Amino acid sequence: MKLLQSFKNLFHKTVNLAGHIDTEAAEKAIRNNIYFRGPNAWILAIATIIASVGLNVNSIPVVIGAMLISPLMGPIFGLGLGLGVNDMQLMKSSGKNLVVMVGISLTASFAYFLITPLSLSNPTELLARTNPTIYDVMIALFGGFAGILEQSRKEKGTVFSGVAIATALMPPLCTAGFGLANGNLAYFLGALYLFFINCLFIMLATYISVKYFKFRQTEYEDQATGRKTKRISSILILLFIIPSIWSAVTLIQRTNFETNATAFIEYSKSYNKSIIYDYKIDHTEGSKLELYFTGEPINDETKSIIVKTAAEFDIEEESIIIVDDSKEADLNDIELVKGIYDKMDSEVAKREEEIRQLKEELRLAKGDDIAYVQITREIISTYPSVKHVRLAQGASVAADSLYAQPCITAIIKCEEPISEEQTTKLSNWLKIRLNSEEITLIVTLTE
């Protein structure tokens, strides 16, 4: 029991925020950082162009650097704070500056993508900023909590930089500018929706934290004005919370549908001689899974099996669209594809056999390595005047034929000269010892 109480005391001491929070300093800092004038406006424009370059060339480090530079968080925290303390003037100022911020970012990114000579056939980083998921919601919400906690604590750290990176407000605005410059409405709307989602949940986290930390509420001399402001604040809070909940639920449903659809496709590659060669997930009018078939025509029995299998993955019949590209003539195409695969298998087998043979040759070559130390010892034991032996494998090339003939060169250094008979005897011994007729023997005296 005493151990449990000690653990409770330790836990309470660890998570307790009392004495670590300065709401007055936090409120002052937030109010000072909502404006986009002078240097802030130019820094934002420069950061937007840097982020646009990073997205354009798929460079994540460049995008991260731009997010660290950009002063985007101020007006969003200002809106959350204004809602939390019922300060209508702060909400108005924050809202205006948020619009200014969006305008500067869109203008800078639009101008960059309009004149840039860089282009990519597959701009994956840009595409990633057009389809918000539930993970974006979670990152924005908890990033907002971390941000307002960093603003409120007495000892400032580096959390705010991490929040700027994690919540990723800059990339969606750059992608929206890309959509404007290229006339791509889907990119523009998708990116703005992601930016709106991020802003919404950062504001929600700020509002909740402001209420929890009991920031000082704005007081009005006129009680009627105060009541009116509170009513407006309550309405705005509902307008923020309801879309937040709706967006979160919608994104959860979409994420689950995509997960189930992917699992279903992996499980159901083919039905008899009908093959799923492609699929598409569309959330325009509810979540739909389009299946593209080739091979034999899809009959009612096969459709029934498809629907039954999809139901096992929580995909309803109304969500499945079967696009039947199957024709009798397509069977020839299947045979053609099968033939291509067979040929590929044959080529792979051929390459594997070549690799096996090369490995065997390498093994044999290693087996033919010269036993340098042993041969040197044998030579010295027979010819005591020999002091140094150098053996080298190489090739002999005739100038008239340019044909390379493998050979071994032996350089023998002696203290005293050896006779021609001994040299011939040593050469013949080396041919037998090294199992090669191509032996070049050079005998020299040591210096």
Note whether residue 198 is domain-resident: yes
202 lies in the same domain as 262: no
User: What is the reported pLDDT for 440?
Assistant: 83
Both structure tokens of 199 = 């802003």
Note whether residue 232 is domain-resident: no
201 in Cβ contact with 144 (< 8 Å): yes
User: What is the reported pLDDT for 167?
Assistant: 66
Q: Which residue has the higher pLDDT, 4 or 107?
A: 107
Residue 227 has pLDDT above 80, yes or no: no
Residue 433 has pLDDT above 70, yes or no: yes
User: What is the reported pLDDT for 244?
Assistant: 66
- Number of structural domains found in the chain: 3
Sheet holding 386-397: strands in order across? 386-397, 404-414, 439-445
CA distance 377 to 21: 83
Reported as a single tens digit per residue, the pLDDT across 26-51 is: 888 888 888 877 788 888 888 888 88
Helix (H, G, I), strand (E, B) or coil at 324: strand
Which of the listed residues 287, 309, 324 is the one where a domain comes to its end?
324
Contacts of residues 226-231 at CB distance under 8 Å and 24 or more positions apart, as own/partner, are 226/86, 229/86, 229/87, 229/88, 230/86
Strands (E), 182-306: 270-271, 274-282, 288-295
User: What is the reported pLDDT for 216?
Assistant: 85
Note whether residue 357 is domain-resident: no
**Which range of residues forms the domain containing residue 313?**
258-324
Q: What is the pTM of this model?
A: 0.58
Looking up residue 381, the CATH number of its domain turns out to be 3.30.300.30
User: What is the reported pLDDT for 106?
Assistant: 92
What backbone phi and psi angles, to 5 degrees, belong to 410?
-120, 120
Gyration radius of the chain's alpha carbons: 38
Summarize the confidence of residues 217-233 as an average pLDDT. Answer: 70
Summarize the confidence of residues 113-131 as an average pLDDT. Answer: 64
Contacts of residues 110-115 at CB distance under 8 Å and 24 or more positions apart, as own/partner, are 110/177, 110/180, 110/181, 112/48, 112/49, 112/52, 112/53, 112/56, 112/177, 112/181, 113/52, 113/56, 113/177, 113/178, 113/180, 113/181, 113/182, 114/181
CA distance 159 to 234: 30
Residues paired with 270 in a beta bridge: 275
Note whether residue 335 is domain-resident: no
412 lies in the same domain as 312: no
Note whether residue 105 is domain-resident: yes
97 lies in the same domain as 174: yes
268 lies in the same domain as 407: no
Note whether residue 3 is domain-resident: no
44 in Cβ contact with 72 (< 8 Å): yes
Q: Among 55-69, 96-110, 326-340, which range has the highest average pLDDT?
A: 96-110
180 lies in the same domain as 87: yes
391 in Cβ contact with 374 (< 8 Å): no
183 lies in the same domain as 117: yes
Percent of the chain at pLDDT above 90? Answer: 1
Reported as a single tens digit per residue, the pLDDT across 356-369 is: 777 766 655 554 56
**Secondary structure element (H or E) that encloses residue 390, with its range:** strand 386-397
34 lies in the same domain as 140: yes
Q: How confident is the model at residue 119 (pLDDT cuts 50, 70, 90)?
A: low
**What's the mean per-residue pLDDT of the chain?**
77
Helix (H, G, I), strand (E, B) or coil at 409: strand
User: What is the reported pLDDT for 328?
Assistant: 47
440 lies in the same domain as 317: no
Which of the listed residues 218, 249, 284 is the one where a domain comes to its end?
218
Note whether residue 346 is domain-resident: no
Report which of 321, 303, 190, 191 is spatially closest to residue 261, judged by C-alpha positions: 321
User: What is the reported pLDDT for 406?
Assistant: 73
Note whether residue 337 is domain-resident: no
268 lies in the same domain as 208: no
67 lies in the same domain as 210: yes
Reported as a single tens digit per residue, the pLDDT across 125-181 is: 555 555 666 777 788 888 888 888 888 887 766 666 666 666 667 888 888 888 888
Percent of the chain at pLDDT above 70? Answer: 78
82 lies in the same domain as 201: yes
Summarize the confidence of residues 290-305 as an average pLDDT. Answer: 80
213 lies in the same domain as 266: no
Looking up residue 77, the CATH number of its domain turns out to be 1.20.1080
